Chains A and B, each alone.
Chain A
Amino acid sequence: MDKLLLQLAIAISFGGLLLDPTIAQNYAPYQPGGVLPPAERAERVEIVQGPALELAHDDLAIIRWTTNNPGGSDEHFTVIHYGTAPTNLSQTAKSHIRLNRDHAQTIFRVRVDGLKPQTTYYYMVTSMGSDGVSDGEQSAVKQFTTPRPGERTQSP
């Protein structure tokens, strides 16, 4: 029994040494970085700003919105469902972004290519992790109009 207690004491002492935050600070910067496991997912993801048009060319649009940080996989995708009628958002585009896991909020931006000039598009946005699972938020249906051929517009 004494031997068992001794082993336990050694294990605890050694473990304590490994977990000493001072030591971790001294040595962590000089070790190769690994890929961290996914962050904890937010209980609820809400859009706190937007979505809004950031930039439009005659064939391209960028839409932006802000949510609380959804967590989960650092690799994320922004998703836009769009179409030329508010009741038919049959087309989808996705863009890649990377979460900064310790940031409180995340700004999502999505590119939509292959648009027609001088056309009004209706859209709804959401986001998802790299596993394809939605973050759960979804915007209302909004709209933008592409400029004439060769022109570009930008939000203020």
Chain B
Amino acid sequence: MVHHFLQLLRRAEPSRSRAQIVQRSLATLALTCCAVLVATVGYPVRPAVPQSGQAGNPPAYNPYPPGILPSDLDAEIARVRAEMRTVFGRYLVQAQALPPLTYSNTQGVGNPPTIVGSGYEAMRILGGLLNYDQNISPLKNAACASCHMPYAGFSGPIPSVDLTIVAYPGTYHFRAAKRTAQRYTYAPQFPALHFNETLQAFIGGEFWDARATGYKLQSADAEQAQHPPVDPLEMGFPDTACIAWRISQAQYKSLFEQVWGADFDINWPGDAEQTCSTPGGNFPTATPIALSPNDRTKANDIYDHWGQSISALEHTDDVSPFSSKFDAFLAGKASLTPDEIAGYKLFDGKAACNTCHLDGRGSTQTPGTGSGSKSSTTTGIDTSAAASQAPSFTCFGYANEGLPLNPRIALFYENKPDALGFTPNPLGFGYRDLGLGTFLRSGFGSAPNPNAKWTSFAPKADGQMQTSTARNVAMTPKQCPTTEAPGPYFQKEFFHNGYIKSLKQLVHFYNTRDVYAYNVTSGHCPPGKTEKVDCWPMPEVPNNIDMTTGNLGLTDQEENQIVAFLQTLTDGFTTPYPNSDTYTGVCKTGGSASTQGNELLIPTPDPLPPCASSICGVAPLPSPNKIP
């Protein structure tokens, strides 16, 4: 098998000779020296990319005031990079163990060719290789997994980032975006974004703001995977064709060719590597690599197959195995503890969590079992026995839960140009995250809305973010078995803006958002009040707030029981969760889950600059309230 793979690798040699590459590289280097714009970067040649890379690290972008970036950031990024190499190596071994891929000969039968027997396995392994390949970034230092590691349920792997800047630095340190990294798990279940006429609501799509619609590939998940590689704040290629360029040089190129029948015979311009080694954001065009229409089509196909490969991986048991304690409980193979059972009943009943995080169980309730004037939107006890629909723990919809503005988010501080002339956020603290509403307006920080008919719905969608599946919300590395202080715990971040730092806080927020609502911004709770305990600052977006939640009437014990239930949704109970053993960082200890992370709260600027006109002044304007 190893011999077979070596044959594949040999066949995978680029069609262009090494001499041609060197020749073109030298020409590129000469051009680079003459080009004042590019020469300002002054990259040293990196020994790690000897074949054609002229790239190095541009000067660090650090517009942040002291105390905003975590002090261990460089070390933690290095740790995650080493962990990614470990997992990449594992997939490489699996690729080497693949049997020869054979296609069915279906001539005259009416079926398309199929990779017989090993098609699924080949696709899974290819997805794994792509997910952890750090060459899929200009500076060859970031992969999808940089923000999505298995031990965190495929969400953010760096506790200090989760505790501070929320968003993860991309290829160009320290550009960073504005939201938490959503978990991969069960993401392929989200349908393509559509407006449900009956519900008069948007369903499906991916990203917090739905900007990966699935309109083209009819897979929101595959299209989601296409965004970060060309997002200048993430993996940051300046051109989608760079995916094809880098895969054309990868060890696994032949596997990609065999799985997809992809055609890498592209006439690349001499500056392809130079271009792909330069983080995007400030190029005059979205396609700086000059390709013929035919070659552009080939590169586009490879880019599409990139997304489809990642989505295929997310569909497999490597990511979405349905191996949680709750799944075992549903199958009659495990028992829940009394607290977990109590939390489960609360999840369905008094707390009404399954109103949006659908758990597949009918919630037939006994009338009048709520807790009086402090009861939740829906009250009672779940007496049902059978699953009524799939327990995806999401309704695939969108809601504005009224999170306060989180002044620690990196993007607020990125209002100065970096060495490449790119300014991530010229609006500074004038930025507001309207989520789905901004996407529907094709607005700043989102993506073009491909359906003009949807734009008019923007005011009804302002502030709405995707309802994530609750599955794996509690997943942590084994050595740090919980998300909750005093631990030992693994620091995570929750909701779209990472304002919430523990599951206890998450449940308490749903429970008391309106009970302890104060007309202040974060960092300005009245004396004697503790933020996140008995003071919740005002929502960042005051429109379309979901009033299903906000005053559930749960006791402190009931909140804890719901947390206990959420912890049963973590995969890996019945079978080990693949590649979750790779965490080499440390656990935190001490403190209380209720105030976890509060020591790093900082005051929101006061007065807060008004919402920028390029966000809140875009028609159709937010209503009925003006965004403060």
Contact = CB atoms under 8 A, between A and B. Distances in A.
Which of B198, B390, B625 is most buried by chain A, counting CB atoms within 10 A of its CB?
B198
Interface in B404-463: none
B338 interface: no
Interface string A85-109: 0000000010111111011111111
Nearest to A154: B515
Contacts of B390: 28-33
A97 B547 contact: yes
A96 B358 contact: no
Contacts of A131: 198, 200
Contacts of B547: 62, 78, 95-97, 108-111
B362 A109 contact: no
A49 B367 CA distance: 13
Interface residues of B, number: 62
Q: Could you tell me the dominant secondary structure of chain B's interface residues?
A: loop
Q: Please classify how large the interface on chain A is, using the bins under 10, 10 to 19, 20 to 34, 35 or more.
A: 35 or more
Contact of B380 (A93, A105, A150): A105
B518 interface: yes
Nearest to A55: B514
B200 A75 contact: yes
B545 A95 contact: yes
B542 interface: yes
B581 interface: no
A97 B387 contact: no
Contacts of B391: 29, 33
A100 B354 contact: yes
B203 A35 contact: yes
Interface of B: 189, 191, 196, 198-201, 203, 322, 327, 330, 349, 352, 354-356, 358, 360, 362-368, 370, 373, 375-380, 384, 386-392, 394-397, 399-400, 514-515, 517-519, 542, 544-548, 550-551, 624-625
22 contacts: A25-B387, A28-B387, A38-B198, A55-B515, A64-B373, A66-B375, A73-B200, A96-B399, A98-B355, A98-B395, A98-B399, A100-B355, A102-B388, A105-B380, A107-B376, A109-B514, A110-B547, A113-B542, A130-B199, A130-B201, A131-B198, A156-B373
A96 B356 CA distance: 13
A138 to B, nearest CB: 19
Which of A93, A102, A105 is most buried by chain B, counting CB atoms within 10 A of its CB?
A102
Contact of A100 (B200, B363, B373, B399): B363
Interface of A: 21, 24-25, 28-38, 49, 52, 54-55, 57-60, 62, 64, 66, 68-69, 73-75, 78, 93, 95-100, 102-111, 113-114, 130-131, 150, 152, 154-156
A98 B377 CA distance: 9
Contacts of A114: 624-625
A29 B360 contact: yes
B379 A54 contact: no
Given A55-B515, A107-B375, A33 B358 contact: yes
Which of B355, B362, B363 is most buried by chain A, counting CB atoms within 10 A of its CB?
B355
Contacts of B201: 75, 130
Nearest to A102: B363
A90 to B, nearest CB: 14
Contact of B363 (A103, A108, A111): A103
B199 A107 contact: no
A58 B546 CA distance: 21
B356 A98 contact: yes
A9 B203 CA distance: 40
Contacts of B400: 96
A82 to B, nearest CB: 13
Contact of B377 (A93, A107, A150): A107
A57 B519 contact: yes
A98 B198 contact: no
